[in-house]
Structure 1
Amino acid sequence: MNIKYIDLIDQTYYFPQEEFKLKGDSQTLTFHDIDLMELVEQYGAPLKFTYLPKISENIQKAKGWFANAFKKHNYKGNYHYCYCTKSSHFEHILQEALKNDIHIETSSAFDINIIENLKAKGKIKNDAYVICNGFKREQYINNIARLINNGHENCIPIIDNYEEIDLLSEEINDDFKIGIRIASEEEPKFEFYTSRLGIGYRNIVPFYNEQIKDNEKVELKMLHFFINTGIRDTAYYWNELLKCLKVYIRLKKICPTLDSLNIGGGFPTKNSLAFEYDYQYMIDEIINQINIACQEAEVPVPDIFTEFGSFTVGESGGAIYEVLYQKQQNDREKWNMINSSFITTLPDTWAINKRFIMLAINRWNDEYERVLLGGLTCDSDDYYNSEQHMNAIYLPKYKKDKPLYIGFFNTGAYQETIGGYGGLQHCLIPQPKLVLVDKDENGNLTTRLYREQQRSEELLQILGYNE
């Protein structure tokens, strides 16, 4: 009988996969050749880790796909890869991403302080594009203006509402470039019809004529197109893209300085061992559609900008927990309790039912059982089950005398910032330690502890008990 955990995975998915393999006779899991049990033995659990080389790998993959599409369709524009800092603001993430000659997209005021810090260290050059998205008020406006006034001419604020040009003009000394964000129409499943961000399709050309056309201080360079659900092969996506191209063509015919199209809204990341997505096909088709539309309208094709956040950093991250105890709540439900909390460490699992790859780290040769996973907080929402997972959750059978470790993978985007990394956590469950995994000049894996698990003194300090 095939009753072992390894049999279940082998029957359900193609396994091993590019990033997941088993180590020798021990039958323990490796991730990008990282021996995860060795990581646990060295640092303990719970822990989070970041595999930095995966960031550069994904950036280079995307650049290659766009280069292939440009060549295939004889596309005359240029391609610019931007990283969305909001996906992960950590310095080690930006340092790795910036090794790949990329550009930056910001979302709020403090992002500009990060840009200035990296510029002072020589990590960001003056000719790098800084695309400033988001709703802008005083501090964000002031920070953008300071960056431009200090000589960063390729800082491009993306206009989100009708007041922003005037606000920027008051603070920026010389001429400056801008983009306009399209307020795309959302999918029918949303409770709202139009995105709260940007300016509506039908209002963009009148807005240009009224506020930009005769404004000698402002140069319109970019049209920004963002789809909340990301780049997917759906009738909805292609319809919105074609509407965007119609606006671009209309604008280009009356605005010679417009030369760039930003197709924001990212690529998906792998959330299951059964994940399938043809990245090259999607890019080919996007470039083909832009090429055809511009040729038919007899306007030059735009330079292409993309803003990939989750795709850049998501697949670099992982979290490892130990199963502490099993609670048999009734005749059907077995609750495996982890030594941390989903609410605090993987907030997307309960907030938006985000799916991550979940696998046992050890004991692959043991029999399996169906379980639910519960966190340590007293909150009823602190769980991970088949709603978030692709299907029912199976793990090696719980045994009190045989520790069981489980891993969640491709968790590198948003979890730390949404979870309030370094601050208060729900029920004061401490933030796990964070380990950085890299490669040295010889290609050997290296690890270093970035930060220890939170201590009670840190939380009491925030709460005012240790003044």
Structure 2
Amino acid sequence: MNTKYIDLISQTYQFPQDEFQLKNDHLTFHDIDLMELVEKYGAPLKFTYLPKISENIHRAQKWFKDAIEKNNYRATYNYCYCTKSSHFKHVLDEALKNDIHIETSSAFDIDIVNSLKERGKITKDTYVICNGFKRDQYVSNIANLINNGHQNCIPVIDNYEEIDLLTKAIDKDFKIGIRIASEEEPKFEFYTSRLGIGYKNIIPFYEDQIKNNDQVELKMLHFFINTGIRDNAYYWNELQKCLRVYTRLKKVCPSLDSLNIGGGFPIKNSLAFEYDYQYIIEEVVSQIKLTCEEEEVPVPHIFTEFGSFTVGESGGAIYEVLYQKQQNDREKWNIINSSFITTLPDSWAISKRFIMLALNRWNDRYERVLLGGLTCDSDDYYNSEQHVNAIYLPKYEKENPLYIGFFNTGAYQETIGGFGGLQHCLIPSPKHILIQKNDDGSLSTKLFSEQQKSEDLLKILGYHGV
């Protein structure tokens, strides 16, 4: 009878996989011996495997290159990194090794852009696509960037007042884009995105505010779907509506030459994950070309804004199972030595799924469990809703510690979780480790941040020195 944890995983999924292997009964992730990481740094901890960022960028660039060649598509492709997914310096430094551009969301993003320029990480030729609702400081920072000669800064207009605000602040000609307010999926609580200009209002908006404004040149139409690029009727229908707007707008606005298909690719959230990236990209490129040919307009340059896809699969979190509580006849709770609310906020806020696997004891018998965090909050758990199906782990043994890992957690979790700030129930943020690959193929680790201390939180709360 197959009752070991390794039997369960092997029978349920194709295992091992490219990034997940077993070495001496221990799980490895991109050849990282995770138990060695625990032995060196302890748990809980978070880590970022930086080479995965470049790997995913290269994958997408190749997919688009192949699709453009296959479709004889006569325009360029530009990969933009959506900085809100992770603003950390080590993330931007790694991403910008790969001939990419960036997309910003708020005023402080532009301060990061200026820092990157000062350090030679980006140049005036780098596209800076400025999304988001723009007021005061954001407008001022964008204006300063353009006034200082960054002509490839393209603010994407989100509402009817922004052109006037930008025109007053910028002392030279500048380029803009317009964001389409896409219609959301039927299951959403609202019908139309709060962001952007409605489909039917795009051309009247152009005629009223842009056409006769000599200072402004419309270059880009921005199309964003909140659920990302997916092979379903909703996405293809919205893309077609966007393309019809693009071709109509192009006929009255010759300067328009770029289409930004924001809304990124999904990332692997299960060992059973399947997604044909190459097919989807070829279909997107093909549909853009076909629609433009039908309407007899040149095809646009394509921009994408990949945030989660860029950085998500580089991240992981490791916890130790501290204790097991048998609460009734059916429910066993494994309590981890951290909090899901603070370290993986998307797991409880939007029931986002992550890959979860044991790090050790793969040859032990398994049991069905629920996972709970340390806080005194009933929402601090991870269960079958987030995990697609029931959670099974090696049986809890008090004298034989069990460690578990959550993988592909690199996007959004630190910023949403309030990295470096207050944490729910004052459960400290864990250590964060950076992992890089050396020229000889070996791996090196570096401590990026220590686990929070009591004095760190007391200082924020105003108790420091009292």
- Matched with 2:215 is 217
1:356 aligns with 2:351: no
Greater Cα offset, 301-310 or 440-449: 440-449
1:155 aligns with 2:176: no
Task: Output aligned runs, 1:44-443, within 5 Å.
Answer: 44-443=42-441
- Matched with 2:454 is 456
Q: Which sections of structure 1, spanning at least 5 residues, go unmatched?
A: none
Once residues 443 and 312 of structure 1 are traced to their aligned partners in structure 2, the CA distance between those partners, rounded to angstroms, is: 22
Letter in 2 for 1:5: Y
Aligned residues: CA RMSD: 0.4
Deviation at 1:204, TM superposition (A): 0.2
Question: What is the TM-score normalised by the length of structure 2?
Answer: 0.99
Deviation at 1:441, TM superposition (A): 1.8
- Matched with 2:41 is 43
Secondary structure at 1:82 match in 2: strand
Secondary structure at 2:403 match in 1: strand
- Matched with 2:9 is 9
Once residues 61 and 405 of structure 1 are traced to their aligned partners in structure 2, the CA distance between those partners, rounded to angstroms, is: 32
Once residues 351 and 83 of structure 1 are traced to their aligned partners in structure 2, the CA distance between those partners, rounded to angstroms, is: 24
Once residues 99 and 224 of structure 1 are traced to their aligned partners in structure 2, the CA distance between those partners, rounded to angstroms, is: 25
Aligned length: 465
Q: Please give the per-residue CA displacement for 1:86-128, whole angstroms capped at 9, x wherever unaligned.
A: 0000000000000001000000000000000010000011100
Deviation at 1:196, TM superposition (A): 0.1
Deviation at 1:381, TM superposition (A): 0.1
Deviation at 1:440, TM superposition (A): 1.3
Once residues 441 and 363 of structure 1 are traced to their aligned partners in structure 2, the CA distance between those partners, rounded to angstroms, is: 33
Secondary structure at 1:228 match in 2: coil
Once residues 147 and 61 of structure 1 are traced to their aligned partners in structure 2, the CA distance between those partners, rounded to angstroms, is: 31
Once residues 256 and 68 of structure 1 are traced to their aligned partners in structure 2, the CA distance between those partners, rounded to angstroms, is: 28
Once residues 165 and 374 of structure 1 are traced to their aligned partners in structure 2, the CA distance between those partners, rounded to angstroms, is: 49
Deviation at 1:166, TM superposition (A): 0.3
Deviation at 1:444, TM superposition (A): 1.1
Runs of 4+ in 1 over 3 A off after TM superposition: none
Letter in 1 for 2:210: I
Deviation at 1:22, TM superposition (A): 0.1
Once residues 198 and 48 of structure 1 are traced to their aligned partners in structure 2, the CA distance between those partners, rounded to angstroms, is: 36
Q: Please give the per-residue CA displacement for 1:335-368, whole angstroms capped at 9, x wherever unaligned.
A: 0000000000000000000000000000000000
Once residues 238 and 372 of structure 1 are traced to their aligned partners in structure 2, the CA distance between those partners, rounded to angstroms, is: 38
Secondary structure at 2:57 match in 1: helix
Once residues 283 and 375 of structure 1 are traced to their aligned partners in structure 2, the CA distance between those partners, rounded to angstroms, is: 40
Letter in 1 for 2:16: P
Secondary structure at 2:197 match in 1: coil
- Matched with 1:446 is 444
Letter in 2 for 1:260: S
Deviation at 1:83, TM superposition (A): 0.2
Once residues 31 and 207 of structure 2 are traced to their aligned partners in structure 1, the CA distance between those partners, rounded to angstroms, is: 57
- Matched with 1:22 is 22
Q: Which sections of structure 2, spanning at least 5 residues, go unmatched?
A: none
Once residues 71 and 445 of structure 1 are traced to their aligned partners in structure 2, the CA distance between those partners, rounded to angstroms, is: 36
Deviation at 1:191, TM superposition (A): 1.0
Secondary structure at 1:381 match in 2: coil
Once residues 318 and 58 of structure 1 are traced to their aligned partners in structure 2, the CA distance between those partners, rounded to angstroms, is: 16
Once residues 340 and 457 of structure 2 are traced to their aligned partners in structure 1, the CA distance between those partners, rounded to angstroms, is: 19
Q: Report sequence identity in percent.
A: 79
Secondary structure at 2:69 match in 1: helix
Once residues 394 and 416 of structure 1 are traced to their aligned partners in structure 2, the CA distance between those partners, rounded to angstroms, is: 27
Question: What is the TM-score normalised by the length of structure 1?
Answer: 0.99
